[in-house]
Amino acid sequence: MSNINEPNIYESNPNELNPDPANTRIQTGLDLIQRERFAPLAGQRIGLLSHPAAVDRYLRHAATIFHAADPVDLHCLFGPQHGFRGETQDNMIEWDGFTDPVTGLPVYSLYSQSRQPSAEMLADIDTLVVDLQDVGARYYTFIWTLLLCLEACANEGKGVFVLDRPNPIGGQLREGNILDPAYSSFVGMAPIPMRHGLTVGELAAWFRAHFNLDVDLHIVWMSGWQRHMWFDMTGLPWVMPSPNIPTLESAVAYPGFCLLEGTNLSEGRGTTRPFEIFGAPFIEPEKLAARLEQWKLPGVVFRPLHFEPTFQKHAGHICGGAQLHVIDRTQFQSLLTATAVLAAVHELWPREFCWRQPPYEYEEERLPLDILAGGPQLRQDIEAGVSPFEIARHWHKELATFAADIQEFLHYE
């Protein structure tokens, strides 16, 4: 029995954050493992990999829940990029392990020169529990931390429990190219598309099969989630999965507009609307917006603006650019839209625009844009003046092949 004040998550509760009966049916893996009173983990020494968004529907953090639950023998904690409790604001900032002041347990950093748990880190546990909220994009490093943990646990004979969570941008739409394995990096370690349409649990199952990992993997699947659901349809509370994904709208834009990290354009870090605001000091906002509107991109309009980032690229300098406003997210194509932005800026300001140079996310030689894009083709097409729509058409065959390959690993309707 848990010794925390645990409400019944299947009965109405006047204090529940989202009491709508139509939504309370959706439970995450963390909600469901509590319903089972942690029985699947009884008698095991546990390590927990999580981050600030690993909360139940009452906003209680997984570490607090596991630490207080009598059947759980929690030994240590692990954190991905941005830290276990969100210690690092900016991207590509390493952090060191520490003793957690809430639980008193050691916290191991999996975002440093050692991004995979070592044998020493895993020595005192039998099972690693993973509870990570992904955003549905290939470059989001949490899924690669998961893969590295699966590999380490396979090598050390440790079990893995994945507590599944929604893909916040839904599970029906996929976009972008399939990663070329020759361009594998910490922003892409497996041949999946830029917007993959999978949950963390589905990815874990596919990783085990694709990489032939001999690991004892258990997935606590969600209850009630369906592939058509966006996060705001779940009734679950939104917690920032990382500091620069403050809203669902940021997550919707992210699969395409993360590509701007591979250029000298600001992707809106250091503003209140990252990945929705973009630009650079040399850009004339009205000129850029007018060019983008000529393409009649689906589901989006652009508002010219000026902004001043408080950190990251162009911090303290006035940038011209635009804010994208998604008016129909079922039609909006983030990758197509971001490709159009890159093509427009390359066309209009060829002397000022440039590709960012390495290092980037532990890659020392290849261009950041190329490892984000999973190969050089996107950059080469933009340099050659290929239409954004033609570039996107190149992805269709790869996406169809991936959809067929992944079909057996789709757990949800």
For residue 227, the domain's CATH number is 3.40.50.12170
What pLDDT sits at residue 384?
Answer: 98
**Same domain as 49, residue 158:** yes
Does some domain include residue 328?
Answer: yes
**Residues 379-397 pLDDT 10s:** 999 999 999 999 999 999 9
Query: Could you tell me if residue 266 is inside a domain?
Result: yes
pLDDT at 82 over 90: no
pLDDT at 91: 63
Q: Would you say residue 94 has pLDDT above 90?
A: no
Q: What pLDDT does 114 receive?
A: 82
Last residue of a domain, one of 173, 208, 233: 233
Distance CA 340, CA 290 (A): 12
Residue 8 pLDDT grade (very low, low, confident, very high; cuts 50, 70, 90): very low
Same domain? For 308 and 348 the reply is yes
Q: Are residues 218 and 261 in the same domain?
A: no
At 93, is the pLDDT very low, low, confident or very high (cuts 50, 70, 90)? confident
What does the pLDDT read at residue 24? 54
Pair 274, 244: CB distance under 8 Å = yes
One domain, residues 255 and 106: no
213 falls within a domain: yes
For residue 369, tell me if it sits in a domain.
Answer: yes
User: Looking at the structure, do residues 274 and 361 belong to the same domain, yes or no?
Assistant: yes
- Residues in CB range of 114: below 8 A, 6 or more apart: none
Give the residue from 156, 160, 254, 239 showing the smallest Cα distance to 201.
160
Identify whether residues 281 and 382 lie together within a single domain.
yes
Structure tokens at 121: 């880190």
Structure tokens at 208: 């085990």
Q: Is residue 16 part of a domain?
A: no
Within 10 angstroms of residue 190's Cβ, the number of other Cβ atoms is 18
Domain shared by 130 and 253, yes or no: no
Share of the chain above pLDDT 70, in %: 93
Higher-scoring residue by pLDDT: 305, 6:
305
- Here the tokens at position 141 are 């490093």
Which residues touch 29 (CB under 8 Å, ≥6 apart)?
Answer: 131, 162, 163, 164, 165, 201, 219, 220, 221, 222
CATH number at residue 253: 3.90.1150.140
Helix (H, G, I), strand (E, B) or coil at 322: strand
Is 150 in the same domain as 46?
yes
Pair (284, 358) in one structural domain: yes
Q: Which candidate, 115, 146, 296, places its Cα nearest to that of 213?
A: 146
DSSP SS3 for 130: strand
Per the DSSP assignment, residues forming a β-bridge with 279 are 266, 321
Can you tell me the mean pLDDT for 291-307?
98
110 pLDDT band (50/70/90 cuts)?
very high
In a domain, 95, yes or no: yes
Strand partners, 321: 279, 305
Give the span between the Cα atoms of 99 and 106, in whole angstroms: 5
pLDDT at res. 138 = 98
Residue 10 has a CB neighbour count (10 Å cut-off) of 12
Segment 118-127 shows an average pLDDT of 97
- pLDDT over 70 (residue 171): yes
Give kind and range of the element (H or E) at residue 36: none
Question: Based on the structure, what is the number of domains in the chain?
Answer: 2
333/264 same-domain check: yes
Residue range(s) defining the domain that contains residue 39: 29-164+199-233
DSSP class of residue 234?
S
CB 142 within 8 A of CB 241: yes
Q: What is the pLDDT of residues 332-381, one digit of tens each?
A: 999 999 999 999 999 999 999 999 999 888 888 999 999 999 999 999 99
Domain membership of residue 175 (yes or no) is no
In a domain, 215, yes or no: yes
Confidence of residue 293 (pLDDT cuts 50, 70, 90): very high
Q: What percent of the chain has pLDDT over 90?
A: 86
- Residue 187: Cβ-neighbour burial (10 angstroms; 0-12, 13-18, 19+): buried
Q: Do 279 and 368 fall within a single domain?
A: yes
pLDDT of residue 9: 33
Q: Which of 233, 256, 285 is the last residue of a domain?
A: 233
pLDDT surpasses 90 at 195? yes
User: How does the average pLDDT of the chain come out, rounded?
Assistant: 92
* Domain co-membership, 218 together with 339: no
What integer pLDDT is reported at residue 7 of this predicted model?
A: 36
